[in-house]
Amino acid sequence: MRTLPSKRMSLLTEREAQLVLSSAPRNLAELSPRELRGRIVRTRRLMEKYQDVAQRQRREALRKELPSRSRRAEGNRNTLQKAEYFALTLERFEKRLAMLERKAQVRTRAASSPGPRRAKRAVTKRAATEGRKPARRTRVVAGRTAKTTRSRASGQKRGGALKQERFPSLKRQAQASGRGRRTQARRDSRR
């Protein structure tokens, strides 16, 4: 007999229920391999915990072990049920992770394998330089020079700062600090 989801969820705590619900197919698709590994660890720990608790309760019910609480354990059906839910959840997480890892292997294999080989053509030096565009020259316009492609290339080498330049808060800061520099330059020129 299949249990109703409401009955199943009533046995679980809120965090445990969230973990079990995140193993649903529509939710599994949104998880990254790193998140899946973390959830696998949590699920396995909970499954083992409830299996151990069920075993202890069984031994207490059979009077082979002293009760850990004042009242002796009478049944462990719900605890076994919880261990089973976590075993099913663990299975779903592991299947999804295995599938993602297979896809990643296929991608890396495809990327590492050389593409179709092309016959190399003998190219003279003159023919090789003919297709290139001439180097961009700087113009002097009212005392200012136009930006060269060289400054852009050096900006790309900087790395991490490029992404930060797109943040609106940093744009405002740059504008404010530029304004401060201009007003300071104006003051200095008046002295």
Q: What is the pLDDT of residue 77?
A: 86
pLDDT for residue 63: 74
Question: Please, what sign has the CA dihedral across residues 94, 96, 97, 101?
Answer: positive
Report if residue 83 sits inside a domain. Answer: yes
Instruction: Tell me if 179 is assigned to some domain.
Output: no
Q: Is 57 inside a domain boundary?
A: yes
Residue at 153 is within a domain: no
Query: What total of structural domains would you count in the chain?
Result: 1
pLDDT at 133: 65
The string of pLDDT tens digits covering residues 79-101 is: 899 999 999 999 999 999 999 99
Q: Measured between alpha carbons, how far is residue 135 from residues 127, 141, 153 in Å? A: 17, 19, 14
Cα three-residue angle 71-12-8, rounded to 5 degrees = 105
Cα–Cα dist 113/92, whole Å? 32
Task: Flag whether 74 is in a domain.
Answer: yes
Closest CA to 73 of 59, 83, 88, 94: 59
Whole-number pLDDT of residue 153: 52
Asked if residue 84 belongs to a domain, the reply is yes
Supply the pLDDT for residue 98.
94
Beta strands in the chain (DSSP E): 140-141, 144-145
The confidence score (pLDDT) of residue 99 equals 93
Where in the sequence is the domain holding 53, given as residue range(s)?
5-112
Please check whether residue 188 lies inside any domain of the structure. no
Question: Would you say residue 46 lies in a domain?
Answer: yes
pLDDT below 70 — which residues of the chain? Answer: 1-8, 65-74, 114-175
pTM of the complete model: 0.51
Question: For residue 1, what pLDDT is reported?
Answer: 39
pLDDT tens digits along 63-75: 776 666 666 666 7
Distances (CA, A) of 63 to 8, 49, 74, 76, 80: 29, 21, 10, 14, 19
